[in-house]
Amino acid sequence: MSSETIHIEAQEDTPMVKHEIEGNSNVITIAGVSMSENTLDFYIPLLQQIDQVCSGAKKNKLIFHLEYMNSMSNKQVLKLISSTFKNDPELKVIWKFSNGDELIKMKGEEMRSILDGVDFSIEEAITL
């Protein structure tokens, strides 16, 4: 079993990333704003970390709850999901959007249509 873990604090222009183990599943949550000028500086190391964490025998789930993402982030998120899916064909992706955030909901629907075969659900985030 891998002891790898990921925890990245949110910055002004990059999202928070948190890895948790729930039962026999890796759950990786990416939330906040993703609009850094050089998205590769953030997403390439993150993709490598996710590949390491998700390469074990566990089930893997990626949860996205982004408030905003620029077009370069959009590309990197697509790459991250497809790379993880390549290593784990049973990957589950949950795309969350805040009530009334039609743009993020639409980006999720766009990704779901591109990522053929991925278990991809879109849900309204519950706010307390």
Task: Name the residue ranges covered by the structural domains of the chain.
Answer: 7-124
Q: What CATH number was assigned to the domain covering residues 7-124?
A: 3.30.750.24
Cβ-proximal residues to 22 (8 Å cutoff; 6+ apart), any chain? none
Residue 51 CA to residue 38 CA, distance in Å, equals 21
Give per-residue pLDDT as tens, 62-119: 999 999 999 999 999 999 999 999 989 999 999 999 999 999 999 999 999 999 999 9
Short-list 51, 42, 40, CA closest to 14: 42
> pTM here?
0.93
Give per-residue pLDDT as tens, 17-60: 999 999 889 999 999 999 998 999 999 999 999 999 988 778 99
